[in-house]
Amino acid sequence: MKNFVLTLFAAAALIACKKTETKSVNESTDEQIVSAPAESGMTVTDSTKVSEVTTNSLSDQDKKFADAAAKGGLMEVMMGQLAATNATNAKVKALGEMMVKDHSKANDELKKWAGTAGYTLPTGLDADKQKEYDDLKAKKGAEFDKKYTDLMVSDHKKDVEEFKKQASEGKEASLKSFASKTLPTLEHHLMESEKAKNAVK
């Protein structure tokens, strides 16, 4: 009788162990089932954000440069149009016409890059640049010529520095390429601006 009780007890303990094993196997299977859809869900979400990822991959330097180049290019065109009509000196008029032509072309290239990269460029001047434009617009005759050539020399010195920096330190390949390609034009603009400035001293 004692042996029979011991056997029953051993059998009950064995059954209890089997249930525990089965339960832990089921629990780990449940965990695997739960985690699988979560992982695949993340993949689906990520693939729908391709354009966002492209924009997010731009460095701060890239974004800062693109914004400054867009606003600066717009101002060069607007001021160039003023010079082409308001300047009294022939060299200053010619400088203004060159600025309109070259910067319009560069602005179009930058817009094309932005469309491909999914990046939104500024479409107007900031407060400082608007003030510079308004101040220039108020000038007449020789005063206008002097002010315009002063602005073109100082602006293009800054532009050359910024474009050089982007060409060497930028992260996004096609924006770096735009900076490198545009740099010789800006250096030429600086040289012509200095000539025009000397002509109206």
Same domain, 68 and 122: yes
Same domain, 35 and 79: no
Write the CATH number for 191.
1.20.1260.10
In this structure, which amino acid lies at residue 125? L
The chain-wide mean pLDDT, for the chain, equals 82
Nearest to 79 by CA among 36, 115, 130: 130
- Give the DSSP per-residue string, 51-92: HHHHHHTS-HHHHHHHHHHHHHHHHHHHHHHHHHHH--SHHH
Same domain, 161 and 136: yes
Share of the chain above pLDDT 70, in %: 72
Same domain, 128 and 174: yes
Same domain, 100 and 186: yes
Number of H helices, E strands in the chain: 7, 0
pLDDT digits (tens, 9 = 90+) for 40-80: 343 334 433 334 435 557 899 999 999 999 999 999 999 99
The boundaries of the domain holding residue 187 are: 54-199
Same domain, 177 and 104: yes
Phi and psi for 6 in degrees, rounded to 5? -60, -40
pLDDT digits (tens, 9 = 90+) for 8-20: 444 444 455 444 4
- Tally of structural domains, the chain: 2
Same domain, 44 and 119: no
Same domain, 73 and 150: yes
